[in-house]
Structure 1
Amino acid sequence: MYLSIDIETYSDVDLTKCGVYAYVDSPNFTVLLFAYAFDDEETKIVDLACGEKLPAEVLEALTDGSVIKTAFNAAFERTCLSRYLNTPLSPASWQCTAVQSAMLALPLSLDGVGEVLDIRRKKLKEGTDLVRYFSIPCKPTKTNEGRTRNLPEHSPEKWELFKTYCIRDVDAEREIRWKLRNFQIPESEMELYRLDQEINDRGIMVDRDLVSHAVECDLQYKDMVTAQAYELTGLNNPNSVTQIKEWLMDRGVEVESLDKKSVKGLIPETDGEVLEVLKLRLLMAKTSIKKYEAIERSVCSDGRVHGLLQFYGANRTGRWAGRLVQVQNLPQNHLADLALARSLIKQGRYEDVDLLFDSVPGVLSELIRTAFVPKPGTRFIVADFSAIEARVLAWFSGEKWRLDVFASHGKIYEASASAMFGVPIEEITKGSPFRQKGKIAELALGYGGSVGALTSMGALDMGLTEEELPILVNQWRSANPHITKFWWDVDAAATSAVREKKEMVVGKVCFSYKSGILFITLPSGRKLSYIKPRLDTNKFGREGLTYEGIGESKKWLRIETYGPKLVENIVQATSRDLLALAMLRLRNSGFEIVMHIHDEAVLEVSEGYSSVEDICRIMSVAPEWATGLPLRADGYECDFYKKD
């Protein structure tokens, strides 16, 4: 039996900025409307705000593991109802139609999916205004008699429309689910979805003391730097780009832009007060605390931040996406004495931080990771896959020399440089220019990248010349003929699958066309989806593959692709599958995962229990479908989260 659900809620906490867990954590949170339908029955609505009660059959179904509860973005409904009923609802019997849509690379929103699938009962457009009216606090005015919240009696007509809107969302979700009935979420992915919900429910503890002091330190430091800039320039507003440009022009320095890159470029060419002002400009512009502020907004009364990761958030590959604090792009930490800097900030000794370290904003930036801490009586064990994408790419393409490197010493930058330049690997040391070239080539060229990719990766900033870049590209491709061949074999197979509507196989990957979708079946059995593929003339004037999907503009549009880009999707998706299975093994071995980032898992482990070696051994087990893939995990223990 299925129970389809949509709810409308109220809270004084901003859902988009703080996440659903902090949203429901507010004492002012409540559920207003509950729309539901069992199987194919007509959708009904329960007006909780006006005193109606949930029927007994609904209450029973919510805790009955044999009844499948479905919703679009089911995590919201499950979390809200757990709080409303004061009963933790297990994710075990919930299914998410948003995940089912994402697995076909459809949009992540209900209205977006409805538009692409052209369903009859689309989400009502008036809903946005109604949610704003009833679900969030309102500004007190004379007109509304100073109230801070709109209730049903304040606009009965809008309230009736709100009920219609809630019913329509259930109808839209059911129609989408019916349209996708031939593309069910496999049980293997359902198991991962349930694991994801467990991790988000568990959350990760925050050092709130560090966070509040970091925000205060940044405020005081910005005031100090701005005061210095006032004193040096005499300007009304030394943060003003226009005023600073005029001030510089009066001193013979003409600039088009004052962005970070431009200012850094000017610094070596200036001296005296101009140099000092440019340095202050960089310090004033450096943003160190946005993530601290995000943590402050999102932390719940249990001292933990929940919901940091969204399952299948990257719907081209199925990788997780960061939410709220965006832990996927935390600044790295390189401070020699991270613990000292952390201690000084927590003690409010901001002047000592300024005295002992080169840059206060830099220190605050590097300390962001350390805001996440294990609960008392535990420590973090952090383990990640070593060079996972490079290993998976070598495995797919059969680039034997690379597989041999990964199965032995693992020094891929050195080995790559050796293969490219014919230099014995023993001569390529950490500071060698050959190693630098090997490293930049490895980072930029694995997915068909060329001169542009090298430039984006900072090749010119590393001292390479523009003339060297095309040579470097050719040397890398010559040293990796199987990878280069794999790109174009994938390109040909995908093109043939679309043109001839037949199944094509390249090594461990299968390409097929069904129901207007190009599917790429990975070794794990999971399928990547490319909607409405066709062959068009591409930007190079040649025939190329295009499909419909969410572009960089976040809009649904037609997107060009080709072999190397498809290989990137295949490798990243397979790397995701390996991490997902490793996390399942860790969970099934009794470990509690509190966070994971790219190819890394963060575990909260009781003091005296287990070890880094245990965790890495569990992570390094290759599944049956990945025979011959040389997996390796490295790890460390810490009392606060950091990069080792």
Structure 2
Amino acid sequence: MELSIDIETFSSVDLVKCGVYAYTNSEDFEILLFAYSIDDEETEIIDLASKEKLPKEIIEALEDDNVIKTAFNANFERTSLSKYLKKSLNSKAWRCTAVQAAMLGLPLSLEGVGTVLGLEKQKMREGKELIRYFCVPCKPTKTNNMRTRNLPIHAQDKWELFKTYCKRDVIVEKAIKAKLEKYPIPEKEQQYYELDQKINDRGIYIDKKLVRQAIECDKILKEENTIKAQNITGLENPNSVAQLKVWLIENGLEVESLSKKAVSDLSKESDGEVEALLKLRMEMAKTSIKKYEAIERSICSDGRVRGLFQFYGANRTGRWAGRLVQVQNLPQNHIPDLTLTRNLVKEGRIEELQLFYDSASNVLSELIRTAFIPKPNNRFIVADFSAIEARVIAWLANERWRINVFATHGKIYEASASQMFHVPIDTITKTSPLRQKGKIAELALGYGGSVGALTSMGAVEMGVKEEELKPLVTAWRNANPSIVSLWWEVDRAAIKAVKEKTEVQVKNIKFKYHSGILFITLPSGRALSYIKPRIELNKFERDGITYEGIGATKKWERIDTYGPKLVENIVQAIARDLLAEAMLRLDKEGYEIVMHIHDEVVIEAPMNKGSLKEVCDIMGITPKWAEGLFLRADGYECEYYKKD
């Protein structure tokens, strides 16, 4: 028996801004409609808002781990129904059609998948308006008798249409499932999904006092800075871009943009009132405080934030994407005494913050990580893979000198500089300019990058002269001939697979064109998918691959790619598989993962249980499919999350 489900719900908490866990945690959360289909039977609808009841067999099926439940974005249905049934539903019994679609490179929305697949019946366009009407509070007006919520009795015709809409979503989800029947979620990926759901369900504890005081401090700082800016400029609203541009022109500075980077660059070239104003602009424009606000509105009643991770959110690689607080791009912390500084903020001692630090706003930004804390009588164990992408690409390309580095001392920046500039590695110290060049080259050039990549990575700001950029690219490529060769082997293999609709193998990577999709099968057995690939002339005036996917515009469009970019996808996808396997092993050993960021895991562990060494040892185990890949994990223990 298989149960396909879609539900419609009400809550006064904003689902998009706060996530499903805080949404269902609201006291007024309610399931309005429950649409379902058993196996291939007709879709039925239960009108819970109108006092209909779920049939006994459906409740039993929901609670039976042997009955498979499917939904598009199943986390929403499972979490909502767990709240409704007052029982935690096991994710092992759930299959997510959204994950299945994402694994094929399809959009993350039901509507988007239905459109791309050209389904006969699509998601109803009226849905958004109906959801606004029935699923969120309404503004009280004289016309609606000052009510704050619309019920079925207030618009029976709309309600009947809403029921049709809910049923249609089940029909569309089943149609997607049928279309993707040849591409089921692999067993190992299902295990990773179940672990992901466990981590999202567990959530992470929050230092609510720090969050609350940080928001209050930011408010005070913004008010003070606005007054300072008003005093300098005489403007009523110094935050207005238009007003500010006019003032700057009047003071001898014509600007096209007031973006963060533009203001930062201009402030270095200015002096006097203009410099002071631009620095205030940078302070007032800081957006890091928004993460504190995202944390605050997403906290559940037990003090934990949940739902921070989207499984298979990056469908080009399968990596997780961040949600709500976006922990994947938290500001780094460089404050020497974090504990003292945290306490100053928690106690609201803003004058001392301003006395001790050049920028109190920067302090608040750097403290965001520390808002995540372990529950009482626990500590965090934080561990991450060392230079994981550099290790993977060396292993894939069989770049022997790099593999030897990772098999021994692991100092890739120093070794890279040694290889590029032909000097002994022991002459390159931590502060050596050559190490800096080796580091920036390693970070920027592994995937076909050239001068532009070095510039974007901040090479000039890091002290590399502009005339040194091109020679740096040449030196890195000459030092890594096997990696450069891999880029173009992959390029030729992908083009051949698409052109000849055949299968090609490069080392331990397989390229296969099948049913309008280019599949790149990784050493782990997982396949990356590129929809509707075509061979077209690219910007280099030679054959290249284009495919359909979600592009930089966040819309479904045709995207171009080539060997080095495909190698980047492959390397990051392998790094993701290594992290997923490591997290699965850690979970089986009883370690409770509360966060993972890129190639790092954060574990909440009792004071007397577990060890950093064991965690690093577990992460350092090389899977059978990656024989010859030297892995290493490093870490630390802490009383709040931070970058060590």
State TM-score, norm by structure 1. Answer: 0.98
Partner of 1:577: 577
Partner of 1:52: 52
Partner of 1:470: 470
CA deviation vs aligned residue, 1:22-63 (integer Å, no higher than 9, x gap): 000000100000000110000000000001000011000001
Matched, 1:562 2:576: no
Partner of 2:588: 588
Amino acid at match of 1:553: T
Partner of 2:404: 404
Partner of 1:603: 603
Matched, 1:29 2:24: no
Partner of 2:389: 389
Q: How does 1:21-420 map to 2 (within 5 A)?
A: 21-420=21-420
Partners of 2:602 and 2:253 in 1: CA distance: 49
Partners of 1:399 and 1:363 in 2: CA distance: 42
Partners of 2:113 and 2:247 in 1: CA distance: 52
CA deviation vs aligned residue, 1:351-377 (integer Å, no higher than 9, x gap): 111111121010000000000000011
Amino acid at match of 2:121: R
Deviates further, 510-519 or 319-328: 510-519
Partner of 1:498: 498
Partner of 1:614: 614
Partners of 2:59 and 2:248 in 1: CA distance: 69
Partners of 1:175 and 1:254 in 2: CA distance: 57
Q: CA deviation at 1:539?
A: 2.4
Amino acid at match of 2:310: Q
Partner of 1:531: 531
Matched, 1:633 2:641: no
Q: CA deviation at 1:391?
A: 0.3
Residues 546, 254 of structure 1: CA spacing in aligned structure 2 closer, same or farther, 3 A cutoff?
closer
Partners of 1:242 and 1:613 in 2: CA distance: 56
Q: CA deviation at 1:97?
A: 0.5
Partners of 1:269 and 1:395 in 2: CA distance: 46
Deviates further, 546-555 or 476-485: 546-555
Alignment check: 8 A CA contact 2:591 2:610 kept = no
Partners of 1:517 and 1:248 in 2: CA distance: 53
Deviates further, 539-548 or 50-59: 539-548
Partners of 2:597 and 2:251 in 1: CA distance: 48
Partners of 2:340 and 2:86 in 1: CA distance: 42
Question: Is the partner of 1:604 in helix, strand or coil?
Answer: strand
Partners of 1:317 and 1:262 in 2: CA distance: 33
Partner of 2:486: 486
State TM-score, norm by structure 2. Answer: 0.98
Partners of 2:509 and 2:245 in 1: CA distance: 56
CA deviation vs aligned residue, 1:134-179 (integer Å, no higher than 9, x gap): 0011111111111111100000000000000000000100111011
Q: CA deviation at 1:211?
A: 0.1
Amino acid at match of 2:393: L
Q: CA deviation at 1:541?
A: 2.2
Deviates further, 228-237 or 503-512: 228-237
Deviates further, 502-511 or 228-237: 228-237
Residues 127, 249 of structure 1: CA spacing in aligned structure 2 closer, same or farther, 3 A cutoff?
closer
Partners of 2:191 and 2:246 in 1: CA distance: 61
Alignment check: 8 A CA contact 1:287 1:361 kept = no
Partners of 1:252 and 1:120 in 2: CA distance: 62
Identity of aligned residues (%): 67
Partners of 1:637 and 1:462 in 2: CA distance: 31
Question: Is the partner of 2:31 in helix, strand or coil?
Answer: strand
Alignment check: 8 A CA contact 1:9 1:135 kept = yes
Question: Is the partner of 2:466 in helix, strand or coil?
Answer: coil
Partner of 2:4: 4
Partners of 2:530 and 2:288 in 1: CA distance: 39
What residue ranges of structure 1 are gaps of 5+ in the alignment?
none
Partners of 1:547 and 1:171 in 2: CA distance: 28
Partners of 1:447 and 1:573 in 2: CA distance: 14
Partners of 1:94 and 1:266 in 2: CA distance: 54
Partners of 1:107 and 1:271 in 2: CA distance: 49
CA deviation vs aligned residue, 1:212-259 (integer Å, no higher than 9, x gap): 000000111111122222223332222233333333333333333333
Partners of 2:360 and 2:30 in 1: CA distance: 42
Partners of 1:411 and 1:499 in 2: CA distance: 42
Amino acid at match of 1:448: G
Partners of 1:280 and 1:316 in 2: CA distance: 40
Q: CA deviation at 1:469?
A: 1.4
Partners of 1:287 and 1:172 in 2: CA distance: 39
Deviates further, 221-230 or 134-143: 221-230
Residues 598, 268 of structure 1: CA spacing in aligned structure 2 closer, same or farther, 3 A cutoff?
closer
Residues 500, 268 of structure 1: CA spacing in aligned structure 2 closer, same or farther, 3 A cutoff?
closer
Alignment check: 8 A CA contact 1:130 1:158 kept = yes
Q: CA deviation at 1:271?
A: 2.8
Partner of 1:512: 512
Q: CA deviation at 1:122?
A: 1.0
Q: CA deviation at 1:339?
A: 0.9
Deviates further, 441-450 or 466-475: 466-475
Q: CA deviation at 1:305?
A: 0.3
Q: CA deviation at 1:426?
A: 1.3
Q: CA deviation at 1:326?
A: 0.2
Partner of 2:544: 544
Partners of 1:421 and 1:378 in 2: CA distance: 48
CA deviation vs aligned residue, 1:506-526 (integer Å, no higher than 9, x gap): 111111111111111111010
Amino acid at match of 1:516: G
Residues 58, 399 of structure 1: CA spacing in aligned structure 2 closer, same or farther, 3 A cutoff?
same
Question: Is the partner of 2:381 in helix, strand or coil?
Answer: strand
Q: CA deviation at 1:287?
A: 2.5
Question: Is the partner of 1:467 in helix, strand or coil?
Answer: helix
Partners of 2:596 and 2:260 in 1: CA distance: 31
Partners of 2:271 and 2:548 in 1: CA distance: 53
Partners of 1:247 and 1:198 in 2: CA distance: 54
Q: CA deviation at 1:558?
A: 1.3
Q: What number of residue pairs does the alignment pair up? A: 644
Amino acid at match of 1:244: L
Residues 344, 121 of structure 1: CA spacing in aligned structure 2 closer, same or farther, 3 A cutoff?
same
Q: CA deviation at 1:291?
A: 0.0
Partners of 1:556 and 1:238 in 2: CA distance: 39
Matched, 1:424 2:424: yes
Partners of 1:294 and 1:562 in 2: CA distance: 38
CA deviation vs aligned residue, 1:285-319 (integer Å, no higher than 9, x gap): 22331000000111100100000001011111111
What residue ranges of structure 2 are gaps of 5+ in the alignment?
none
